Structure 1
Amino acid sequence: MSVTETAAPLPAASKGRSLWQDAWRRLRRNRAAVASAVVLALVTVLAVVGPSLTPHAYDAVYANYVRVPASLEPYPRAEEIEPELRATLRRARVEVGAVVIEDGIARAALTSTGEIDPRITRYVERSNLFTNAAVVDIAPDQRSATLTADVQQVRFYLGTDGNGRDMLARILVATRISLAIGILATAVALLIGVTYGAAAGYFGGRIDGVMMRIVDVLYSLPFVFFVIMLVVFFGRNFVLMFIAVGAIEWLDMARIVRGQTLALKRREFVQAAEALGVDNVGILKRHIIPNTLGPVVIYMTLMVPRVIILESFLSFLGLGVQEPLTSLGVLIAEGARNIEGATWLLVWPALALALVLFSLNFLGDGLRDALDPKDR
């Protein structure tokens, strides 16, 4: 009797996970980091599209609403309409009788010793409170009439600044500028620092010594002095800000990448690449720099808030973003000057800056834990 033996099927090989997949899996378990990433995404979306959705432009000036507090109710208040209408008609040399305000329309009875000129509506339209002013019901002797005007109701959910500009629109624009400077300056620091540090660490020897002494010399230069020199030669503009900050912040990035490169260039895969005849540029591009991205990504998330704080400090000194643009540092500086009479000018931009900084720091901590090989 022959027995046919059937071989048992081999178990399917389990699919492995790369370092980045494992890091992403651990990052998703960190609730603080995930929440921070969501908050940052929402803040970025609001900063990009928010100013176009707000009812007021960030540079629109409302002379009648200077430093008004935050409110969900529309301005002007009911008790402010009649005094403002009488004040605007005072220059028209007419006597204002009863004023009736109904359904957003103000009606005022006018009398005069002479003929009433219909062009007196231009006095009313100079005010931010009224639009579509018209003189109607003119008497046959043209010495009495009725003036009608639409009451322009506006809302300032976060109040206005010392020039009568909407704080909500300005905070959204300021957040956009601060995030843009932080991200662009970090990108400049990343480009210069990673390339410089990887080259110094890989070539080593005298090249490394000369390159790092250059870094030490640049470290000795005062940052504010460097920025003042750039402002003197090139003027104050948005592009100069992230170039100036990025041109200084790359020094720390270069040192970090150099230290990682010194450890990586002795690894077996680098020696194997050298034995196969791969040139130095190829080794740096394919083996050294990709393996330093873990610490680099972590440092990037910590550098962005530091750059934002630097920009805020420069704007506070008057060396940063200039009008009509604004940044969180500019708004905080303005709020600090008006803290006694208008606390909201400091509170709202300070809260926006704190929200961005806390989110970036929590996300950086989460990335550090996720990419730490000791925690795998």
Structure 2
Amino acid sequence: MSLAEEPVTLKEPVSGRSLWQDALARLARNRAAMASLLILAVMALASILGPALWPHPYDRVYSEYVRVPASLEAYPHEDRIVPEMQRSLARARVDIGAVTVAGDTVRAEISDEEPIDPRMIRYVERSDLFSRVRLAETSADGRSAVLEAEVARLFFIAGTDGNGRDLFARILMAIRISLAIGLLATAVALVIGVTWGATAGYLGGRVDNVMMRIVDILYSLPFIFFVILLVVFFGRNLVLMFIAVGAVEWLDMARIVRGQTLSLKRREFVEAAEALGVSDAGIVRRHIIPNVTGPVAVYMTLLVPKVILLESFLSFLGLGVQEPLTSLGVLISEGAKNMQGASWLLIYPSIALALLLFALNFLGDGLRDALDPKDR
């Protein structure tokens, strides 16, 4: 067989990786960024599913458990069961005999000069310590009976606040509210800032000058004064208020996008699009904005914690989230007022906020390194 007749084996073409795939591979090698991404995913999932799965609603008030410390043991403690039963029966105005506790069952001997009204068990049912209250072993004349009740074992792993609400349930709801506010305000800032900055940078000239002077004027406004005006106009509506806050936070985004657009507008692919007759709006939408997504994605991860801190500051001043909803800023504000007598009210929300902010910042650093063109 001659050389020309030998079969030729064609190799399969080697598929390359896009710039985004290369950036994701570098991000996956960053352990701090991936750990932060995992923490954020766990916190987000817990804030979404936790309030529905946790046994204590975030707004449920336990009047007998006001500012109880965090504990892995079930409440109530044994020394509280008998006094609480006696206190509840005293409201019913009956004579109280022996009160005994056997496991999770409480038995109290009661008597009265008149036949005992079965409705008196409501006084015991109102207590958070007891459940399944019933009258047993009633005498023939109905003047004496044995009241039985089950001890309601409750766990407060992070303690309760000054109103008797489970702190862990409120932290879960606070993370949900803070993340929602951060993402909502960041989305508004993203839409306005990218559109404004890309348009100003690409058109240039007098249009750029006028648009950026408007940004400078908005920069000069006192932020707290502007927020107070927003509260006056929008009231206590949480969504509208923080959409408006996001409409202020777009200023930095606009400047970043404008700077990137100025460096992109004279690149060869933009000039080729202009030569082919593509409109200015089409060039901005299809060529400028997709090429600034790297810096924008990095800045978004830094803007979310900035907005969360801003919300915490406003809630600390009483201008943010209102009861019965809560946020990390509200919880920290309440904890600061009770720092000496109930330190857990400040410690646990502060840990949640610090963990959230650290994770977002580490993720932002990882994205910055992964999207840096110098490392490609």
Question: The TM-score by the shorter chain falls in which range?
Answer: over 0.9
Q: How far did 1:97 drift?
A: 1.4
**Who is 2:92 aligned against?**
92
**Who is 2:235 aligned against?**
235
Contact map agreement 2:234 2:241 (CA 8 A) in 1:
no
Q: How far did 1:90 drift?
A: 1.1
Q: How does 1:184-203 map to 2 (within 5 A)?
A: 184-203=184-203
* Counterparts of 2:135 and 2:105, CA distance in 1: 13
* Counterparts of 2:157 and 2:2, CA distance in 1: 90
* Counterparts of 1:197 and 1:307, CA distance in 2: 20
Structure 2 length-normalised TM? 0.96
* Counterparts of 1:180 and 1:338, CA distance in 2: 27
Q: How far did 1:131 drift?
A: 2.3
* Counterparts of 1:6 and 1:107, CA distance in 2: 98
Contact map agreement 1:237 1:322 (CA 8 A) in 2:
no
Matched, 1:349 2:349: yes
Matched, 1:34 2:37: no
Q: How far did 1:204 drift?
A: 0.1
Structure 1 length-normalised TM? 0.96
Q: How far did 1:9 drift?
A: 5.8
Kindly provide the CA deviation profile for residues 162-183 of structure 1, in whole angstroms up to 9, marking residues without a partner as x: 0000111100000000000001
* Counterparts of 1:4 and 1:219, CA distance in 2: 75
- 1:165–1:2 distance in 2 versus 1, CA, 3 Å: closer
Give runs of ≥4 in structure 1 deviating > 6 Å: none
**Who is 2:282 aligned against?**
282
* Counterparts of 2:88 and 2:4, CA distance in 1: 108
Contact map agreement 2:230 2:241 (CA 8 A) in 1:
no
Q: How far did 1:311 drift?
A: 0.4
Q: Over the residues paired in the alignment, what is the CA RMSD in angstroms?
A: 1.7
**Who is 2:151 aligned against?**
151
**Who is 2:137 aligned against?**
137
Q: Identity across aligned pairs (percent)?
A: 67
Residue 248 of structure 1 aligns to a residue whose secondary structure is: coil
Residue 150 of structure 1 aligns to a residue whose secondary structure is: strand
Q: How far did 1:140 drift?
A: 2.8
What is the one-letter code of the residue matched to 2:35?
Answer: A
* Counterparts of 1:331 and 1:71, CA distance in 2: 19
Q: How far did 1:124 drift?
A: 1.1
Residue 303 of structure 2 aligns to a residue whose secondary structure is: helix
* Counterparts of 1:96 and 1:2, CA distance in 2: 114
Q: How far did 1:12 drift?
A: 5.2
Q: How far did 1:250 drift?
A: 0.3
- 1:2–1:67 distance in 2 versus 1, CA, 3 Å: closer
Q: How far did 1:11 drift?
A: 5.8
Residue 259 of structure 1 aligns to a residue whose secondary structure is: helix
* Counterparts of 2:7 and 2:355, CA distance in 1: 63
What is the one-letter code of the residue matched to 1:104?
Answer: D
What is the one-letter code of the residue matched to 1:307?
Answer: V
Contact map agreement 1:273 1:283 (CA 8 A) in 2:
yes
* Counterparts of 1:225 and 1:4, CA distance in 2: 85
- 1:2–1:247 distance in 2 versus 1, CA, 3 Å: closer
Q: How far did 1:14 drift?
A: 3.4
Q: How does 1:285-300 map to 2 (within 5 A)?
A: 285-300=285-300
Q: What is the number of equivalent residue pairs in this alignment?
A: 376
* Counterparts of 1:86 and 1:243, CA distance in 2: 53
**Who is 1:217 aligned against?**
217
Q: How far did 1:6 drift?
A: 5.4
Q: How does 1:294-313 map to 2 (within 5 A)?
A: 294-313=294-313
Residue 236 of structure 2 aligns to a residue whose secondary structure is: coil
What is the one-letter code of the residue matched to 1:285?
Answer: R
**Who is 1:322 aligned against?**
322
Residue 43 of structure 2 aligns to a residue whose secondary structure is: helix
Q: How does 1:94-113 map to 2 (within 5 A)?
A: 94-113=94-113
Q: How far did 1:8 drift?
A: 6.6
Contact map agreement 1:201 1:262 (CA 8 A) in 2:
yes
**Who is 1:169 aligned against?**
169
Q: Which runs of 5+ in 1 are unaligned?
A: none
Kindly provide the CA deviation profile for residues 169-200 of structure 1, in whole angstroms up to 9, marking residues without a partner as x: 10000000000000110000000000000000
Contact map agreement 2:135 2:148 (CA 8 A) in 1:
yes
Identify which range, 214-223 or 113-122, moves more after superposition. Answer: 113-122
- 1:178–1:4 distance in 2 versus 1, CA, 3 Å: closer
- 1:102–1:2 distance in 2 versus 1, CA, 3 Å: closer
**Who is 1:48 aligned against?**
48
